[in-house]
Structure 1
Amino acid sequence: MSRRGLVSLTTRRQVRRSGGDLARAATQRLEATHDWYARLGAEERSWVALVAQAGIANFIEWLDGVAPADTRTTFGAAPSELTRTISLAQTLELARSVVDVVDERVEELARPGDDTDLRIAVLRYSQEVAFGAAQVYANAAEQRGAWDARLESLVIDAVMRGEVDESIRSRAAALGWGEVTDVVVLVGSSPVSGDDGGDPSTAVGQVHSTARRLGRPVIAGVQGARLVAVVGGVEDPPAMARAFAQCFAEGDLVHGPLVHDLADGALSAHAAVAGHVAAPGWPGRPHPVAADDLLAERAIAGDDLARVTLVEQVQLALEDHPSLLETARTHLESPGLEATARELIVHVNTVRYRLGRISDVIGYDLTDPHEAFTVRIALALGAILEDPSKSLG
């Protein structure tokens, strides 16, 4: 039996005549029973009141069989921003308040003998509206997700290009990056990319899921075959890279250096991308690996920033200590400590001491094969720069 058949025409007319009073009572109920409503701004309260009034009007139309229990009609009275202002749980409380107002007045609204049928109609309407509200929020979440994904892609592109201006900062703030500091960029192979017919959002979603578990803000995107993640609030970059490693495909995962904020993110991004390109040049590289540990490989691959950094950290630093510079060059060309000592005409313990001082000055241990290789490349670059007829261009 239809709702028209359950509730008499007399009762439906009485409900319609009382529509204005019911709408006012619903608004008063919101003010009296829900603290969250009182905390809203004036504009937001007016939106909610419109929804409550539209709910009463839609119930009357539904009861008369003129219209379905249409959440688009009910929630269409307010702008779509309402779903950002109040939660689904609060919206259901709103719907319950509207229903309760009608339910409490059933005795005065219904013709004698109609009260049970009217209560059943109210219950059915509340169920339909509750399901409809859930659908409204699901659709809003889907639309927000699509919009956020576009914003995220724009921000990632700007970071990678080094073009983080005020408009990009504003877009990042919309993604929750207003005051985020201590930023690191991770670059690795994407498990899913558009190039192979997959959905890149799957890879990005995994990054976001991991970030929520770790309690860290993140912006992520897939660029070709690479997955890029910009992580904020980082204290230990290597540990953070390990925590996100399962989000990336097999292969190299490189983290850039720690930078202050998103505006400096291009420095970390440049290093991470250059490191990802050059990583195969170090057979014994760890996983994940720091871009700063790949300076030699990056320099060989053509990264000018790595070349300049190496010369500054090694060549220029050792020029202030001529005996250490001479020891470094000699040791790198010698088969061992004794050979270095003979070449320099010093005691082997003097060589050991100087190697320790070299490590203190430049941060590289010449007894470690890869670090010795890095220093060799740095000194080679420095020698080329010393010759005015040569150029790194």
Structure 2
Amino acid sequence: MAQLKQSSGGPQNGKLTISPAKAETIKKLRANVGQLSTTTMRELERALPWYGRLRADERSALGLVAQNGIAAFVTWYERPTLPSWILSDVFGNAPTELTRSISLQKALALIRIVVETVEDQVPHLAPEEDQPALREAVLRYSREVAFAAADVYARAAETRGSWDTRLEALIVDAILRGENTDALRSRIAALGWKAQERFTVMAGSSPLEPSPTYVGELRRMAGRFAQDALVGIQGDRLILILGGLDDPANAMARLAELFAPGPVVFGPEAATLPEASTSAQAAFAGLSAARAWPNAPRPVAADDLLPERVVAGDDAARRALVHKIYRPLVAASNGLVETLSAYFELGHSLEATARELFVHANTVRYRLRRVCDVTGWDPLLPREAFVLQTALVVGRLATPPSQASERTSNRQA
């Protein structure tokens, strides 16, 4: 600065001398630090309505930042240094409190008030010949503080982003493992999860080398269809946990486009987020068995892959076929199981089935429609007939031999 110059006798061990005008300014600045701080605090309350609505501890933290800024300015004006000191001298331990209490926009408004307060006091703090230099110093100082504030918020955002990513990974892992604890609920709440119902898990392949923006893009796309979304990448697998889906069919189709090539499977809807582990397990089982159905749609429901999952050894799929298809058919009676069995054994022929059972073909049609009403699967469609036939097989294997023999005797009688 203009007032920092070498002594008339030249350099003396590299030391610099200060002009009398600047020395007087520094003296007044030091004497008025308290008054400047008090004036600044009053101006903050007057000019920033949101400042008065903060809690006492938040106002204290921000007030300390303002006071530190004024005190640090005096030191900096006496001997300007590199701007790195601002982070420690001005903000101190306040960054966490600062970023939690107010936004960056509000922080910059606070800095502007502090700068304006000091600038308004320039005529009272410096001799006339030193006032231009002091105003220039205030402007330079305010620039460095603003950059330092932006750096504080950027670092805080990166920290929160890293923490949120780790927390999200922990939640996804806990859900996949079926964990249902207070810790899981606490983590979900900490992540800001809002959805309370309609939870679905999608699983597929992740890109070999996802771009840095891939997860963010996937999360934004999921946010268009779901209230909340969790994203997990485990090795070569990509997992999406969606909450509050409004249009599941459309959502699944659009989101499947962001998965890497290969099958994409979604599990059945779960009532609560901790129960989504069942949906996840079904999705993973379906993903492992999907290659047995090369022409499967993309995405495909895990329940549409029940036969392949049974062949692959998935016990949950076997139980689902027994409880959701075989037992309801047996309970419905009216010869549904017998008619369905004959229909499959006779090559899906209505006439042959009618002759085998000594009934009219329309009776066979009626019974097959009843099968569809009871189970939700249509035996007249080849793929769904395959599901029903698999259900008959696993249902008979799950039935004790005595009951199976009794049922056969009744049919023959």
Pair in the same fold by TM > 0.5: yes
Say which is worse superposed, 372-381 or 114-123, in terms of deviation.
114-123
2:247 matched residue in structure 1:
236
1:351 matched residue in structure 2:
364
What stretches of structure 2 of length at least 5 have no aligned partner? 6-18, 403-413
- Secondary structure at 2:298 match in 1: coil
Alpha-carbon distance, 1:374 to partner? 0.5
Alpha-carbon distance, 1:4 to partner? 4.8
Which entry has the higher C-alpha Rg, 1 or 2? 2
Conserved 8 A contact 1:4-1:64: no
Is the alpha carbon distance of 1:338 and 1:102 closer, same or farther for their aligned partners in structure 2, counting shifts above 3 Å? same
Correspondence 1:53-64 to 2 at 5 A:
53-64=67-78
Is the alpha carbon distance of 1:31 and 1:132 closer, same or farther for their aligned partners in structure 2, counting shifts above 3 Å? same
2:310 matched residue in structure 1:
299
Alpha-carbon distance, 1:310 to partner? 0.7
1:225 matched to 2:236: yes
Identity, % of aligned positions: 46
1:100 matched residue in structure 2:
116
Matches of 1:380 and 1:187, distance apart in 2: 28
2:63 matched residue in structure 1:
49
1:331 to 333, 343, 346: 343
1:369 matched residue in structure 2:
382
Is the alpha carbon distance of 1:115 and 1:90 closer, same or farther for their aligned partners in structure 2, counting shifts above 3 Å? same
- Secondary structure at 1:320 match in 2: helix
2:326 to 291, 295, 315: 315
- Secondary structure at 1:114 match in 2: helix
1:86 matched residue in structure 2:
102
Matches of 1:331 and 1:215, distance apart in 2: 43
What's the CA shift string for 1:341-389, capped at 9, x where partnerless?
1111211111111111110011000011111000111110011111459
2:274 matched residue in structure 1:
263
One-letter amino acid of the counterpart of residue 346, structure 2: S
Matches of 1:286 and 1:3, distance apart in 2: 78
What's the CA shift string for 1:290-338, capped at 9, x where partnerless?
1121122212211111111111111100112331111111111122111
TM-score under structure 2 normalisation?
A: 0.87
2:198 matched residue in structure 1:
182
2:284 matched residue in structure 1:
273
Alpha-carbon distance, 1:169 to partner? 1.2
Q: Let me know the Cα RMSD of the aligned residues.
A: 2.1
- Secondary structure at 1:231 match in 2: strand
Is the alpha carbon distance of 1:172 and 1:40 closer, same or farther for their aligned partners in structure 2, counting shifts above 3 Å? same
2:133 matched residue in structure 1:
117
TM-score under structure 1 normalisation?
A: 0.92
What's the CA shift string for 1:224-249, capped at 9, x where partnerless?
21011111121333322223223310
1:166 matched to 2:182: yes
Matches of 1:379 and 1:146, distance apart in 2: 51
Is the alpha carbon distance of 1:136 and 1:214 closer, same or farther for their aligned partners in structure 2, counting shifts above 3 Å? farther
Matches of 1:33 and 1:239, distance apart in 2: 50
1:11 matched residue in structure 2:
25
1:151 to 167, 185, 193: 167
1:385 matched to 2:401: no
Matches of 1:105 and 1:224, distance apart in 2: 62
Conserved 8 A contact 1:61-1:67: no
Conserved 8 A contact 2:204-2:259: yes
* Number of aligned residue pairs: 384
Alpha-carbon distance, 1:101 to partner? 0.8
1:133 matched to 2:163: no
Matches of 1:388 and 1:344, distance apart in 2: 24
- Secondary structure at 1:251 match in 2: coil
Conserved 8 A contact 2:354-2:364: yes
Say which is worse superposed, 135-144 or 35-44, in terms of deviation.
35-44
What's the CA shift string for 1:140-188, capped at 9, x where partnerless?
1111111111111111110000013110111111111155432111111
2:409 matched residue in structure 1:
none
One-letter amino acid of the counterpart of residue 362, structure 1: T
1:195 matched residue in structure 2:
none
- Secondary structure at 1:375 match in 2: helix
Alpha-carbon distance, 1:205 to partner? 2.9
What's the CA shift string for 1:55-106, capped at 9, x where partnerless?
1112112111165441332222425243122111111111111101101111
- Secondary structure at 2:346 match in 1: coil
Matches of 1:2 and 1:350, distance apart in 2: 106
- Secondary structure at 1:230 match in 2: strand
What stretches of structure 1 of length at least 5 have no aligned partner? 193-197
Conserved 8 A contact 1:204-1:222: no
Alpha-carbon distance, 1:280 to partner? 1.6
Conserved 8 A contact 2:195-2:243: no
1:34 to 45, 48, 65: 48
1:251 to 259, 262, 267: 262
Matches of 1:58 and 1:21, distance apart in 2: 15
